[in-house]
Amino acid sequence: MRSARSAGRRTPDARYKWIALSNVTLAVLLATIDLSITIIAMPDIFRGIRLDPLAPANSFYLLWMILGYMVVSSVLIVGLGRLGDIFGRVRIYNLGFVIYTVASLILTVDWMHGRAGATYLVVFRVVQGAGGACLLANSAAIITDAFPRNQRGMALGINNIVGVTGMFIGLVLGGLLAPIDWRLVFLISVPVGLFGTVWAYLRLEERSEPQRRPIDWLGNLTFALGLILLMVSVTYGIRPYGSSQTGWGSPRVIALLASGVACLVAFVAIEARVADPMFRLPLFRIRAFSFGSIATFLSAVARGGLMFMLIIWLQGIWLPEHGYSFSDTPLYAGLYMLPLSFGMLVAGPVSGYLSDRFGARPFATAGMLGSAAAFGVLWILPTNFGYPEFALALLMMGLSMGLFASPNRAAVMNSLPAAHRGAGGGMNQTFQNSAQVISIGIFFTLMIFGLSSTLAHTLRSGLEAHGVGAAAAASVVHLPTVSVLFAAFLGFNPVQHLIGAHALAGLSAHNRALLLGHRFFPSLISAPFRAGLHEAFTFAIVACIAGAGASLMRGTSRKSRQPAGEIRAGRAEADVTATPVA
């Protein structure tokens, strides 16, 4: 039997590399589908467990049902990538398939209702996220080990774009399955996960050279605690505090932010001194890795909240205004966003292939600039847009994202020393996942600020104009803006919930039917929503332009006949293996 070291030196072969790519791409697709499938299924999930998502006390469960999976993935990915370098990437990856599949099955058997049922789902979503983190942390490294350098851009492009597209496929699947039974959004992953697990254990080979090293427990602890504190602060920051529409000024959020930053500062100090660190700080000496990771972060910050804004726009406003019932909007929101997925599927593999031949910098930079332009088009569209113009903007966005993502990821992975691809790939994935959580917090905060400036007056005057008494209408003014935003996000018509059955009973049949219809609430919040949308899209444009600048500074991809990234990677590998500080 060949040793792990000799296995690690085997050259890629034509058959195995496609086995590795197909299995890893299936895993990444499953992991990213689960990032979004619950978003669109949330109304049916809350109805199924009999919990009112618009009650202020229940916003915690709403947020953590969505963000819990993302947070745990962000926290664990670097450590799991490092464990892959130590114990074998395929071993950690296969374990992830098992954890993910078992957690998906357990999620389908939630027998409880109310907050107990919601807590059960949140806990096992976190477990499911841990399995997904094992898969995502080592997927890029397994592909990089399996493919020759001149094909990695194409292979990583396919993997990356299918993964990103999985987030939008999840929206359609959630819209199709949740109305039948909310448990199906978790059950669908079980047979596919079981198949992928067996396939991975039977066919994947360990092509890396595991290096048994001590585990950096203190570094892992401070990093995980720091990220958790920062991301928990996001969930409290977008909730109201006192008379403020957001909680960013609350003592709790300030304490969470300060503690999180302190933990991360301590983490950096530990990593600079420990002999075998989790986070390979010397990898940032590699220009292609450092600027590629910065570009990854800025891209994810720009687009991380985009999906939520588009869902609110379609599900809460545009679709009801065009005659769709609230029960149908989740499915159609996913379908109307398909041009975005199509653009990424087309551009991703093509740009990855071209970057293998001509280098990553021109494609990745152009992709970020194209994304900024697409956000600009969305910015100028009216709230009640014509769908062809909206679809064209989404297609432009998808093509631009695909043009950036594949070359950028290939350049980052190609720049890494072979022994540190797991840790480096995990670091890059952490930048992406944590940026998506941060982006959601930023987008929601900007939306809340934009909405709150005119929402109270608009709601009060709109309700009074249709016969609602001044006292009942005034009570709506004190409703937190985030509750209205969540109502639009979930595709709910919250009018009856807001003003109560007693106030509605005193209205004429015409006014009551109008208020409870599917056009009144969307048309009422349309103008305030537009103000918030402008704030969010302006931020995204700035982040994309900054990302283009970072991508441009990654350096040329080729020097003479040897890629410059490879030259620097070799130097960095020497640095990493030569000194204990590395």
pLDDT at 190: 95
- Quickly state the pLDDT bin for 257 (edges 50, 70, 90): very high
Per the listing, tokens 């969470």 go with 256
- Residue 54 contacts residue 497 (beta carbons within 8 Å): yes
Rounded average pLDDT over 267-285: 84
Longest dimension (CA), the chain: 83
Asked if residue 321 and residue 310 are part of one domain, the reply reads: yes
Following CA atoms 377, 383, 388, 389 in sequence, which dihedral angle do they give, to the nearest 10 degrees?
A: -20
Secondary structure of residue 508 in the 3-state scheme = coil
Q: Which residues, in sequence order, are CB contacts of 422 under 8 Å at separation 6+? A: 81, 82, 83, 84, 85, 89, 137, 138, 141, 208
Which of 273, 292, 312 is the C-terminal boundary of a domain?
273
pLDDT tens digit sequence for 111-136:
999 999 999 999 999 999 999 989 98
Give yes or no: residues 367 and 254 share one domain: no
Number of domains making up the chain: 3
pLDDT digits (tens, 9 = 90+) for 182-199: 999 999 999 999 999 999
293 and 163 fall within a common domain = yes
Contact 553, 368 (CB under 8 A): no
The domain in which residue 177 lies consists of 4-216+274-452+528-578
Residue that wins the pLDDT comparison between 200 and 560: 200
Task: Judge if 430 and 551 occupy the same domain.
Answer: yes
Q: Do residues 170 and 32 touch, judged by C-beta distance below 8 A?
A: yes
For residue range 11-52, what is the model confidence (pLDDT) as tens digits?
556 789 999 999 999 998 998 888 778 888 888 898 899 888
Q: How far apart are CA 416 and CA 570, in angstroms?
A: 8
Query: Token match 């690690």: residue?
Result: 8
CATH (domain of 571)? 1.20.1250.20
Indicate the pLDDT class of residue 571, thresholds 50, 70 and 90.
very low
Give backbone dihedrals phi and psi of 241, rounded to 5 degrees, phi first. Answer: -140, 120
Q: What are phi and psi of 178, to 5 degrees?
A: -60, -40
Domain boundary among 238, 255, 273: 273
d(CA 572, CA 582): 10
Supply angle C-alpha 438, 71, 576, rounded to 5: 90
Same domain for 54 and 175, yes or no, is yes
Q: Is the pLDDT of residue 329 over 50?
A: yes
Contacts of 539 (CB under 8 A, 6+ apart): 302, 442, 443, 446
Whether residues 258 and 126 share a domain: the answer is no
Q: Pick from 273, 297, 315: which residue ends a domain? A: 273
Same-domain status, 254 and 342:
no
Q: Are residues 89 and 168 in the same domain?
A: yes
Of 244-253, 305-314, 428-437, 462-471, give the range with the top mean pLDDT. Answer: 244-253
Which of residues 18 and 276 earns the better pLDDT score? 18
Helices (H), 148-211: 152-177, 184-187, 189-203
Residue with the bigger pLDDT between 560 and 510: it is 510
Residue 2 has φ and ψ, to the nearest 5°, of -75, 145
Closest to 409 (Cα-Cα) out of 396, 435, 394, 427: 427
Examine the domain organization and report whether 321 and 334 are in the same domain: yes
Q: For 535-567, write each residue's pLDDT tens digit.
A: 889 999 999 999 999 999 886 644 433 343 443
Residues 567, 484 share a domain:
no
The two counts, helices (H) then strands (E), for the chain are 25, 0
Confidence category of residue 526, pLDDT binned at 50, 70, 90: confident
pLDDT score of 87 more than 50: yes
Q: How far apart are CA 153 and CA 82, in angstroms?
A: 23
In this structure, the answer to whether residues 182 and 239 fall within a common structural domain is: no
Give the span between the Cα atoms of 458 and 439, in whole angstroms.
28
Same domain, 203 and 228: no
Average pLDDT over the chain, rounded to an integer:
83
